[in-house]
Each structure stands twice: as structure tokens, then as C-alpha cells.
Amino acid sequence: MEPRYRLRLYLLTALILIGFGTLVSRLYQYQITERDRFRKQVPSDYTVTIREPGIRGDITDRNGVTLAKNLRNYEVVFNLEDIRNDYKRYLIESKGEEAVKDFRKIKTHEIVNLWVRPRLALHGLDKPYRASALDTHYITHGGMVPFTFRDDLNYNHFAYFAEHNLELPGVEIRVRPRREYPLGSLASHVLGYVKQWEKGAITPEEKKKYKHYTGDSHGIAGVEATMNRYLTGSEGTLTLLKNEKGKVIREVDRIKPDVGAKVALTIDARIQCLVENSLRHVGRAAAVVMNPNTGEILAMASVPDFTPGNFVPSIDPKAWKNYNSNKAHPLVNKAINNFTPGSTFKLPTAINLCRHGHSHQSMFCPGYVQYGNIKIRCWKTYGHGTLALEESIQRSCNPFFMRMANEMGSQKMLEGYELLGLGHKTGVELPSEAPGIVPGNRYWRQVLRPGASVTPSITGMMAIGQSDCATTPLQMAALVSAIANGGKYYKPRIVKEVTHPHQGKLVRNTPKLKVDLLEKGLSAEDLERIRHGMWLAANKLGGTARRASVKDRDVCAKTGTAQTVDMGIKAHDAWTVAFAPKEQARYVVVVAVHRGEHGGTVAGPLVHLITRGLFAKEDGIKLPIVKMSESQGDFEVREAVELPEEDDYIDIAYEQLANAEDDTGETGNEISELPNTQPILVTPAPHIPKPTIRQQADAAGSRIPKAIIIEE
């Protein structure tokens, strides 16, 4: 073969080899190196995994009456990434690739308005919404977190949607548990409220595991908050098979979400209803009913109050504004917040006196106590004469306790008060509990009065619960319980037990003895002197707590009328604390009222009404449970509470109390005369947890633009 033909043959062979090599190289690249990338681009069925939130556990009273439960709630949710992809496919199929050149610039709400809402409207499922919130949601979460378009569907909507499959990729109607409080505002401050999940942080592991993610609602007030870890159920998982257009073909797998634990409270719903209705006689007040032998709280009420159901799944902005602007603070549980105690502090003073050997001393009351050139008057300006401990409690004599406290000294007073839990949180299973204030403790020295010392006048005021003193109704209930039961101070408890449907009892709350006063220097004989003084106050002429007594029942009580400052105005906090019966006491009742002129005439009748209801229950009268509406509260000054002849709550006749001596001016002392002992301004806890605020529709989410409806 001629050389020239041989060269051509070689060149042709080389070209063939190069071409073949290039082909093989490209085949290797497409089929081996980039195989996964190209497989993803091939239209095919695929699976998505969805996280379903757990089901929140129920809350009941001690007898199984449901206070908080879950309903089936139907929601329309948008998986925004799927909606955008479906609309993009439509544009490509109908108008070509050029139609999606600037697709990223199209706002998500515009696609929803054009592509989804008209078809929802055909089936009566459309509703105005906040378009700006939807755009922000997509920018923040993409397709990871579904956007809740509607959360107010009923079962008929759900059934209709299931029957008429709308074939809308990215649009789903799902069933979610929704919190319900069947008794309205009853025990609202105890229960608290929940906040729906707000698209919070999602871990990288969860992003890998789930295509769509919905978190759990959580409690942010009351028992809903403190018991949240028990109430929250385990998450569920739903795996769906979808086609290349994003339409669901079938359900592949499902692990149903689990129900959280049931929390049983110590409160009795019937007693709670009695107490809350009793407090409706005044504008702003709190009450606690406790079993003195166990520390269990049978009722805890605060007025004004709120409706927990208003926060589910979100609260209307106007309602939230009303709650926040109401200066009566309906969201604050006043039963665990500060009041000025007034003469109720004569009880811990009496305990201190007995512990330090002053129980048998008598003291002459001339009607005042003098500190330097200052006279602090007794409420009975001409004096009580010579009194022993029991009569001083009965008649609530200021000079007796002030002078005895000065004899004992401020340090012993402080130690005794702290022994009885004053100035410290009780540890009850509720958030935002105030510790109270005792002159001389760390808070007083470092925050309230930095650099100040406890003078004799302050010690005297401390003995009668004035000046810088502050306590909570719950603290006083625990203290009075120790007097009622023979000297044992139990930690107050609001949770009885926690039971999981699969794991059984998680928490079994038992009585927790914190202090036995009989082991701390108080004798049984001296304790009986204090108890007898309280019995005299409620049952004998001259007693300031006569209006708290109940016929044929041995009620023991102590009143208090404290000078304070309320919203910049000089006012009074009216108290009555009581236990009954005297022997083998079963109930402690504490009532505190803002702007009540006198403890005996305002708080006393309320204690009477509550105590009478408790004994009526023991006698077989079934106290009613009713769905409660909110109490708005007011700022009126109550001179006295006149109870009705016929009591609607316990259905027994009210008998007028005769020969009751008013404790008019029980405080009596012009404490403004003393330097650095101005009555403190008692304010509620400043922190109020913010719920989920319901978003109102904006202009872009109100109208449905004209859209092309695709015929499937």
C-alpha cells in the first residue's frame, strides 16, 4: 500500500479512536460520576417525610373533672415550595422555558393568589390572610415548615375536601389537636395558657430527617408551663409517596403521634367554682383554700381573670391589647403575688414571741407606741388596756405586738419569719411566684433599701405587717396551715399526680414537711394559745374577725387591714385568714382584697361564704360546677361586703351575723409620720408571657385576582 494511503488510514483510525474514547468518557461521566444528579432530574415518584406534633395531655382536678383537653381541629396548610414548583411546571408546559426566566422574582403570595386561592374559593375554603406573613414565612423556612392558611375549619369542610379531592399539590387539610378549656375562665391562673409553635429553630438532623416540619405547642403560663415536659406528647411521622407533579399517590408509612401525660391537680373544681364566685363581690382580690394536713391547694382564685381558650390557637390583637391595658392585671395570679399583709403578720410575730419565751407576758396598750417624738397609734385610739397574747390576737392590738417585737429584736424577728417561709418562694408548681418582702433580708438590704438598717420603728412596723412588708396569699395559707395542724409547715402543692398512658405514674406528689415548729422552740401549749386567740377573734365579742365565723362551726380567724399605695393612691389591702374547725382542722381559707377598707368587713364575709360552702359540701350539698365567664375587675373602694340572703352558689340561706365588732381603722397608725417607712407600692410580676398574636389580613391577601383554572 502506498504511503499516502497508509497515512490516511492511520488518521482515520486515530479519529475513530478519539471519538470512541470521547464517547466512552462522556458515558462514564453521565452514567457513573453524575448518575445521582441526572436520576434526580428524571420525573419519577418520590417519598416525603412529615413530622406531626404530639398530642398534649389533659389536665384534671383531683376528682377527674376535665379542666383542659384536646379537640380535633382541621387546618388548611400550604407547602409553599410544592406550590411554587407546581406553578413553575404549568408555566413551562404552557408557555415554554422563557416563561420562567425571572421566576424567582415572583413573590410567593402572588402565586398563591393566582394559582391556589381561586380553586379553594370554588369549594368555599378561601379566606383573607396576611400575604406579607406568607412571603416572610417562605423566605425564612422555604418548604420545610408548612404555612397555616386556615385553622378554623369544621368537620363538614374536612369531609367535603376528602370527598372532592382538589388535586392541589402543596395544599393539604390536616387534623391537629386543639387545646380546649371546657369550663371557660375557671382556674385560669392555675391552668395558664399555651402558645402554638412559631417556626422556631430546627436542628440540622431534623432538616435531614423531615421534608415538612411542624413543632409542638407549649405552655407559657400556669401549670401548662411548669408541667409542659409531661404534657407534651411524642412526635409522629407520616411518609407519603408523591408523583413527579407533587401529587400524593398513597401513604407509605405512619407512626401516630403519642398523647402526653395527664396531670391531675390538687384543686377541687367545685370548691374552685365556689371561691371564684365568692370573689366576684369585689374588684381585685385573691383567695386560697388549702388542706392544712397535706399542703394540697383545694382552690386558688384571682380576680380579675382571663379565658385560656382565647389564646388558642392564637389571640386576637384587640383581646391581647385589652388584657395588657387593663390596669387590674387580669393575667397576673394575685394569689402568688404581693399584698401588704397588715395585721395578719401578727400571727408569725406571735409564733416568734412564743419560741423565744414571751408567750406569758402581758402588755398595757395606751393606744399608741412612741418612737422618739413620733407616736404610732393603735386602731383603738384610747387603748385596749392590759392584754395577754390571746386577747391581743383577738382584738388585733398594734402596741402589744410592736413593743414585744422590739423586746425580742429585729434579728430574731427576721430569723423567725424566714423559718415560716416569709420572704421566700413557697416552691409551688406555678411560674412567676413572688417571694414577698421582709425588712432585713437580703433583698431588702441590697435592692429595696440599700445601706439601710433595721431600726426599732421598722421592727415594730414589721410586727404588724406594715411599711416594707409584703407577702402572698399562698404564703399566708401555708403559715396558717402550720398553726391549724399543730405546728407542721408543709410545702404548698398544686399538682397531685402525673400519669402517662403507657408509662404509668410519672409523678406522685406526696406531702413534703419543711419545718416542724414544735422542734424549733414552739411548745404545743403556746401554739394552742395562738389558736385560741384566733378562735376568740372569730367567735367572741370584741373579736375583729366575727364576720368570718360560721354558725355551729369552730372557725378560727385573723383579720388584717394594711395601709399601702395602689397606683399612686393611698389605699388598703383587706385580709382575713382562717382555719376550721378548730380541732382537727380540715380547711385553711385566705382572702386578700385590694382597696378593701377593712379586713373584717370586706374579706371576712368572703371567708365566711367560702367556709360555709365547704361545710355544706361535707353535709351532702353538691356544689355546682359552671362554665365561668371572665371577671373584668374594677378599682372601687369596698367599705363592706354585704352577702345576699339567698346564696346562689351553695344554695343555703345566709344568716346575718349579730354582735360583730368592726375592725374599722384596724391599722390606725399614720405610718407616713415615720422616716423611711413609707408604705410600699406593691406591683405584680412584670413579666407576662407573650402568646401567639392572630395575624389580620392585609390588602394583598384580601382579594383573589383573576386566575387561569387548569382542567385536570
pLDDT for 95? 87
**Of 384 and 513, more confident:** 513
The answer to whether the CB of 556 falls within 8 A of the CB of 566 is: no
Q: Where are the domains of the chain?
A: 48-262+692-701
Q: Comparing 70-74, 520-524, 639-643, 684-688, which segment has the lowest mean pLDDT?
A: 684-688
Half-sphere exposure of 136 (CA within 13 A, CB side): 7
pLDDT for 651? 44
Mean pLDDT, range 511-523, rounded to an integer = 96
Q: How far is CA 525 from CA 106, 355, 689, in A?
A: 84, 11, 48
310-342 pLDDT, tens digit per residue, is: 999 889 999 999 999 999 999 999 999 999 999
pLDDT for 664? 47
* pLDDT greater than 70 at residue 181: yes
382-439 pLDDT, tens digit per residue, is: 888 899 999 999 999 999 999 999 999 999 999 999 999 999 999 999 999 999 999 9
pLDDT for 677? 45
The dihedral sign for the CA sequence 458, 464, 470, 476: positive
The answer to whether the CB of 578 falls within 8 A of the CB of 535 is: no
637-689 pLDDT, tens digit per residue, is: 999 998 765 444 444 433 333 334 444 445 433 343 444 445 444 454 456 77
C-alpha–C-alpha distance, residues 329 and 340, integer Å = 17
Please report which residue ranges of 180-268 form alpha helices under DSSP H.
188-191, 204-209, 222-226, 228-231
Highest-confidence range of 117-121, 574-578, 676-680, by mean pLDDT?
A: 574-578
Which numeric CATH code is attached to 48-262+692-701? 3.90.1310.10
Residue 36's CB is within 10 A of a number of other CB atoms, namely 7
Residue 562: which of 465, 479, 475 has the closest Cα? 465
**Of 15 and 413, more confident:** 413
pLDDT for 694? 81
What is the SS3 assignment for 710? coil
Residue 435 pairs in a beta bridge with none
* pLDDT greater than 90 at residue 699: no
33 phi and psi angles, rounded to 5 deg: -65, -50
Q: How far is CA 85 from CA 114, 248, 493, 601, in A?
A: 14, 15, 55, 72
Residue 340: which of 687, 686, 678 has the closest Cα? 678
Q: How far is CA 560 from CA 232, 345, 400, 665, in A?
A: 43, 8, 15, 10
Q: What is the mean pLDDT of the chain?
A: 87
* pLDDT greater than 60 at residue 154: yes
Would strands 363-365 and 262-265 be described as parallel, antiparallel, or unpaired? unpaired
283-313 pLDDT, tens digit per residue, is: 999 999 999 999 999 999 999 999 999 999 8
Residue 474: which of 338, 664, 303 has the closest Cα? 338
Please report which residue ranges of 388-504 form alpha helices under DSSP H.
389-395, 398-408, 410-419, 442-443, 456-463, 473-484
Single-letter amino acid, residue 259: V
220-251 pLDDT, tens digit per residue, is: 999 999 999 999 999 888 887 877 766 677 77
H or E stretch at 179? strand 171-180
Mean pLDDT, range 90-95, rounded to an integer = 89
For helices 410-419 and 398-408, the axis angle rounded to 10 degrees is 100
426 phi and psi angles, rounded to 5 deg: -75, -25
Mean pLDDT, range 25-51, rounded to an integer = 73
Looking at the chain, the whole-number percentage of residues with pLDDT higher than 90 is 58
H or E stretch at 697? none
The answer to whether the CB of 436 falls within 8 A of the CB of 443 is: no
Look at phi and psi of residue 372 and say left if phi exceeds 0, alpha if psi is from -120 to 50, else beta: left
Q: How far is CA 670 from CA 225, 369, 375, 568, 596, in A?
A: 43, 12, 9, 17, 18
The answer to whether the CB of 576 falls within 8 A of the CB of 559 is: yes
Q: Comparing 17-26, 278-287, 521-530, which segment has the lowest mean pLDDT?
A: 17-26
pLDDT for 426? 97
Mean pLDDT, range 588-613, rounded to an integer = 96
* pLDDT greater than 90 at residue 62: yes
